[in-house]
Amino acid sequence: MPNISVQRPISILVYEDLEGAFEHLTQVFGLGPGELMRDGDGRVVHGEIQAGDGVIWLHLESPEFGLSSPRNLGGCSATIAVMVDDVDAHHRHASAHGADVVSDPIDESYGYREYGARDPEGGLWSFMKPLG
């Protein structure tokens, strides 16, 4: 194998409505700041949000590449886990702003406190912090 340097990954999530997903992820889940890029007609064609020291790109559905929103797939094939300072405070904020919480905060046997929520197109998110 050649000597190559692997750098940090960029998560890419697929949505039908990039602007709606961006608003939800930044306002309800507290991610960001980020930006939306528009084409010459003002249509959102790419989004970026920050999750701590990582970046998440928001990508439009693309039949050419077989990319579909969880909403249109009827399920998820992946989930995003985000580390937060205070799981319970994050949960309260997200709940107060209309998050679709699917699991309340709990201490898991694998050493994390976490809760789960879905974004508007059905993507599953976990917000967590190591115990202890």
Q: Give the pLDDT of residue 1.
A: 62
Distance between CA atoms of 88 and 67, rounded to whole angstroms?
Answer: 33
Instruction: Find the domain containing 92 and state its range.
Output: 11-130
pLDDT(108) > 90 = yes
- Weakest-pLDDT range from 2-16, 21-35, 57-71: 2-16
From CA 35, how far away is CA 21, in angstroms rounded? Answer: 12
Q: How confident is residue 2, by pLDDT bands cut at 50, 70 and 90?
A: confident
Give the model's pLDDT for residue 39.
Answer: 96
Q: Residue 40 domain-assigned?
A: yes
* 5 found inside a domain: no
Beta strand 11-15 with 54-60: parallel, antiparallel or unpaired? parallel
- The mean pLDDT value for 10-39 works out to 95
Domain count for the chain, please give it. Answer: 1
Query: pLDDT band for position 132 (50/70/90)?
Result: confident
Q: Do residues 34 and 48 make contact, with C-beta atoms less than 8 angstroms apart?
A: yes
54: domain CATH number is 3.10.180.10
